[in-house]
Amino acid sequence: MIKPHGSNELMPKIVSTEEEKIALLDAAKSMKKITVNSAAAANLVMLGAGYFTPLDGFMEKKDVISVANKMQLDNGLFWPTPVVNLTNQNLEFKEGESIALIDPNVEGEQIIAIQKINKIEKLSDDEINNIVNKVYGTQDKSHPGVQTFYDQGNTLISGSVNVINFSYFEKDFGETFRTAMQIRSSIEAKGWENVVAFQTRNPMHRAHEELCRMAGERVNADGILIHMLLGKLKPGDIPADVRDTAIRTMVDHYFPKDYVMITGYGFDMLYAGPREALLHAVFRQNCGCTYLIVGRDHAGVGDFYGAFDAQDIFDDIPQDALEIKIFKPDHTAYSKKLNKVVMMRDVEDHTKDDFVILSGTKVREMLSKGESLPKEFARPEVAEVLMKHYMKE
């Protein structure tokens, strides 16, 4: 199986035994505490679940700046986005001290992790602006990822962590949430060697479905990993539980049995376009996948990125930065001529009028009015799941 990123084995930061967990929670009674923001809590879930292998915890300033400027840690390891515990709170901590981190997304002041503080450092306004500009390609606060980063504060608390739980993800998404360790184990148990990963934060329509099928056929995959983001999204995005139901409905009806693994991971969307596509590749390599589909406007938002910027960035990184390969599709749409979903570059005789193309805005508008989606765009079973959600709102 493909090796994890930067390591011969996964390096999950979740505590491994119940005894260790009890001991840490007992020790935490005498520790100072801080409630982290949702982005830091999501980073902790990813550190705990092995997706951030080989990171040990939150980055210090020199690593954050190196990642922003050069897409590598100070030690030279490829890494595309900062993994930080930023705060705007006044701190009474000392370097070398262990502190308890409180989960902001769970009631009752639940401790999500213990962090040993390596350094407490300030980022200047210029440094934050540079990080935001390099990672997101813009400083425009109408970009949801940019706004979220600015809102976190300018005090950086770095250091290694011991993660105690996976926040709300196991409870709320018990059927779907999986760690990188669990996915690797499942891939191994199935005997799959060549696995294509599909990242999604949306329900899957006909084009997404066919994209997975095409990729699987063209690289001769043993199976497909549909890996959905379960964390915080921007207003207007479809909630994770509805997405989950829609995707399971599609797979049950339209894919061969045991060819698709449906899983999810606990991370808040960055909407960082090309940089986030690289991070998605790291996640999937750590899961044991050999290919990641990087489609049109992958991890993008609004008009901040070009349609295929997220594909092009893979040509700009060193060839040995990642072991996972990228499957780069063109626009996919339903062809009225051929009565099937196609990649537009494969049908040169088509004009724009030969395709059924709907914008996400148009789809949401139709669903909110109770209108059926065209069968060329969405499977009827999937459209029904989505319509029920929109009619409730």
Active site residues: 201-202
Among 384, 327, 387, 378, which Cα is nearest to 357's?
Answer: 378
Confirm if 83 and 52 have CB atoms less than 8 A apart. yes
Orientation angle between helical segments 380-392 and 360-368, nearest 10 degrees: 70
Cα separation of 278 and 158, whole Å?
A: 23
Cα-based distances in Å from 68 to 78, 219, 299, 302: 11, 33, 18, 22
Cα-based distances in Å from 172 to 75, 105, 168, 169: 38, 12, 6, 5
Confirm if 230 and 264 have CB atoms less than 8 A apart. yes
Confirm if 265 and 181 have CB atoms less than 8 A apart. no
CB neighbour burial string for 325-334, b if at least 16 within 10 angstroms, e if fewer: bbbbbbbbbb
Radius of gyration of the chain (CA): 21
Residue 154 structure tokens: 């300018």
For the beta carbon of residue 243, count every other beta carbon within 10 angstroms: 25
State the DSSP H helix or E strand holding residue 46, giving kind and residue range, or none if neither.
helix 38-48
For residues 167, 173, 176, 179, the Cα torsion angle rounded to the nearest 10 degrees is: 10
Confirm if 108 and 167 have CB atoms less than 8 A apart. no
CB neighbour burial string for 245-270, b if at least 16 within 10 angstroms, e if fewer: bbbbbbbeebbeeebbbbbbbbbbbb
Residue 235 structure tokens: 């207003």
DSSP 313: G
Strand order in 355-356's β-sheet?
340-343, 332-335, 355-356
For the beta carbon of residue 308, count every other beta carbon within 10 angstroms: 18
